[in-house]
Structure 1
Amino acid sequence: MIDKKFIGHEFEPFTTTIEKGRLKFFAKAIGETNPIYFNEEAAKAAGHKSVLAPPTFPFTLSLESEDPFPVVTALKLEIGRILHGSQEFEYFAPIYAGDEITVSSKIVDIFDKKGGALEFVALQYSFTNQDGELVATSTNTLVYRNG
């Protein structure tokens, strides 16, 4: 069983630069056709300062630390037993190409179902820009299969 003493555990925050090419690639990968997500002129014409990050893009930022899966390391989980259970986002301000985003994360809950056959780890992420403005939060729930 995953030790519940890890509830509240905070991982080392890190900062990453949002590159225009990555935003364009992500927009293409998700089938986004609105040019504000890949064309600088279209983004500026729509009132944005640069190319805008598409919805769900912050998830990719959580994978950019030195250890892209710190929860696996901290909890000593076998990666082959992990499933992505759910992902929720809340947005407060746009993320743009050129922004410096600091990613902070912590374990907010650990619980089990089916008599411990399935364990769940809820992680909360905060994304803050170079101006100290919270631009988004995300909650990611992982499912760990025992047995």
Structure 2
Amino acid sequence: MPVNPELVGHAFPPTDPYLVGREKVREFARAVFASDPQHVDPAAARALGYRDVVAPPTFAMVVQDLTLQQLLAVPDSGIALERTVHAEQRFRYTRPIVAGDELTAQLSVTAVRTLGGNALVTSEAEITDAAGDHVVTSTSVLLVGAGE
């Protein structure tokens, strides 16, 4: 089944709040080889003006993944995980993610286009904090291979 073009414009409900934990930030920093002290040492982060450790920029994917799970669960989407590759990722930050943040994300599908029988699905997750203030917009492009 090809990717359903009617996904464009679909906005999913906001995710449940995700509480950013200090150890999650440290684990993620180690996993992506982010060695700046602000990612693992609260004192180093405070010296830079943050209340706790600062997540590496790609940490937003942890929160965006919750929204992408919503997209993958749409029964008539035509997006089959076994034929899907994460093709591109972009972030537009208002401020860094810091341990202690409670983040909510809402996904919108912004484009579906075909490319050589495959489909490129672009989506944007608007990630906000507990006060409703914008933290980051995370844009993903999924390449969905043609079905059999």
Q: Name the SS of the counterpart of 2:58 in structure 1.
A: coil
TM superposition shift of 1:76: 4.2
Check if 1:141 corresponds to 2:146.
no
CA contact (8 A) 2:127 2:136 kept: yes
2:61 is matched with 59
TM superposition shift of 1:73: 1.9
- C-alpha separation in 2, matches of 1:71 and 1:145: 16
1:93 is matched with 95
- C-alpha separation in 1, matches of 2:95 and 2:79: 34
The two structures, once aligned, show a CA RMSD in angstroms of 1.3
1:13 is matched with 14
2:36 is matched with 34
Return closer, same or farther for 1:70/1:98 CA change in 2, 3 Å cut-off.
same
Q: Structure 1 or 2: larger strand share?
A: 1
2:4 is matched with 3
The superposition leaves residues 18-70 of structure 1 with CA deviations (integer Å, 9 ceiling, x where unpaired) of: 000000000011111111011111111122111111111101112246xx622
CA contact (8 A) 2:57 2:96 kept: no
**Normalized against structure 2, the TM-score is what?**
0.91
Size of the alignment, in residue pairs? Answer: 143
2:112 is matched with 110
CA contact (8 A) 2:28 2:59 kept: yes
Task: Using the aligned pairs only, state the percent identity.
Answer: 27
Q: Name the SS of the counterpart of 1:96 in structure 2.
A: coil
Deviating beyond 2 angstroms after TM superposition, the runs of 4 or more aligned structure 1 residues are none
CA contact (8 A) 1:90 1:138 kept: yes
- Counterpart residue type for residue 130 of structure 1: A
2:122 is matched with 122
2:84 is matched with 82
Structure 2 residue ranges without an equivalent (≥5): none
Q: Name the SS of the counterpart of 1:27 in structure 2.
A: helix
The superposition leaves residues 79-134 of structure 1 with CA deviations (integer Å, 9 ceiling, x where unpaired) of: 110011100111111211111101111111001011xx211110101110112210
Of 19-28 and 126-135, more deviation after overlay is shown by 126-135
